[in-house]
Amino acid sequence: MTGVRAGPPHRDRVGYLRGAPPPGWARLVPVVLLAAVCVATAVSSEPLDIGFVLGAVPPLAVLANGPVATAVLGALTLLVLSMPVFNLDAPGSTDMLTVAFVAVLSVLLSFIRSRRDAQLVTERAVARAAQRAVMPPLPDRVGTVRCTGLYRAAQRGTLVGGDFFDVRAGPFGVRAVMGDVQGHGLSAVATVASLLGAFREAVLDEPDPESVAARLDRRLAVDADGDPHAELFATAVLLDFSADARSVRLMACGQPGPFLLRDGRAVELEVEPCMPLGLGLAELGTPDVSAVRLQPGDRLFLASDGVFEARDAEGVFYPLAERLTRFADGDPADLAGRVWTDLLRHSPDVQDDVTMLVLTPAPPEERDGGP
């Protein structure tokens, strides 16, 4: 089972108008236009007054070609205009000077665009590296638990938004978290990074999920301290697997519990809700923690409110429990991807961050050190 962060490409693909490199065919457009004019004039028995079309060649070259290629295409344009063999109805000196000026200006613009594109590529690579440092790819197995995750940030072109999840092994077992911070998009990335850092430390230090939740709650409270207008909070579900992954303890802080997929059915686990993180969880006393026994073949499916609250054109919520039952017998590695594809059919224009996490206790033969 593979840890997944990618999904259908149309959600992640950045278009040319949004800063992506130009498509390969765009480089050929000015060449094709130039060749088309040459062929048209060569086969015509009379002069054609279409020389003005060649004035578009240098500007079109700017869109996808570098300054050298743009300069070459500009020179070829002037050459075609000036050669009698192409029979272009003898363009005047004013026409030639106009095209020459446009060609020189196009070379300058191409140089500027090329430099900006190079800078944009560098900045995008740095941004992706920074975001992946916050949310690194989920491993396909952590200890005795196999993992598959799917993440879709609401803001296009980003890898991290207001949702988060992680699965870590520590001295007290395998712990998992999935949550949603206040807001979404890039404005929530700092809070996500802070919470995930606190979770990874707590996995190593804290003996139970209650203590892990208290650590996250305190992290948000400290981040908001000193700013009277800060209202940092997050909803989250914490899972604490036993050493043999035969049971799991659950704690839901302002968020629904996971679904248990067993014997072809999907049942939402009843978990006593706790206060969201960042609102003084530690001051309310010991939070409620639910324990669930797991059987071979069981899967736990967690989803953010971007899934629960997705609506179709008529305002009908996505029927997650029904669809999970339909997909329950499939490969656990494909479950999150199948739900995502089905969700897009139900609600094509998803506006919120979407997160899914599938956790499967390893088969008995793998718990004892198997592959």
Residue type at position 97: L
CA 203 – CA 198 distance, rounded (Å): 9
Helix, strand or coil, per DSSP, at residue 77: helix
The whole-number pLDDT of residue 256 equals 87
Q: Per residue in 198-254, pLDDT tens?
A: 999 999 999 999 999 999 998 888 887 766 556 678 899 999 999 888 899 999 988
Q: Per residue in 10-38, pLDDT tens?
A: 344 455 555 566 777 888 999 999 998 88
Q: Are 3 and 150 in contact (CB under 8 A)?
A: no
CA 98 – CA 182 distance, rounded (Å): 56
The whole-number pLDDT of residue 16 equals 59
Residue 358 pLDDT level (bands cut at 50, 70, 90): very high
The whole-number pLDDT of residue 11 equals 42
Average pLDDT for residues 140-145, to the nearest whole number?
A: 90
Average pLDDT for residues 126-150, to the nearest whole number?
A: 84
The whole-number pLDDT of residue 369 equals 45
The whole-number pLDDT of residue 183 equals 67
Q: Which of 350, 278, 285 is nearest to 317 (CA)?
A: 350
The whole-number pLDDT of residue 4 equals 45
CA 250 – CA 280 distance, rounded (Å): 19
Helix, strand or coil, per DSSP, at residue 310: coil
Least confident segment among 60-64, 159-163, 228-232: 228-232
Q: Per residue in 297-346, pLDDT tens?
A: 899 999 988 898 889 888 899 999 999 999 988 888 889 999 999 999 99
Residue 40 has pLDDT above 70, yes or no: yes
In angstroms, the Cα distances linking 182 to 164, 167, 189, 275, 352 are: 12, 21, 10, 14, 12
- Write the DSSP string, 96-108: HHHHHHHHHHHHH
Residue type at position 261: L
The whole-number pLDDT of residue 18 equals 58
Residue 86 has pLDDT above 60, yes or no: yes
CA 364 – CA 316 distance, rounded (Å): 41
The whole-number pLDDT of residue 329 equals 82
Residue 120 pLDDT level (bands cut at 50, 70, 90): confident
CA 236 – CA 20 distance, rounded (Å): 35
Maximal C-alpha separation, the chain: 94
- For residue 16, give both structure tokens: 């040319």
Interacting residues of 44 by C-beta distance below 8 A, sequence separation 6+? 87
Q: Per residue in 99-115, pLDDT tens?
A: 899 999 999 999 998 89
CA 87 – CA 361 distance, rounded (Å): 77
Q: Are 218 and 194 in contact (CB under 8 A)?
A: no
Average pLDDT for residues 85-106, to the nearest whole number?
A: 80
Residue 165 pLDDT level (bands cut at 50, 70, 90): very high
The whole-number pLDDT of residue 117 equals 85
The whole-number pLDDT of residue 72 equals 94
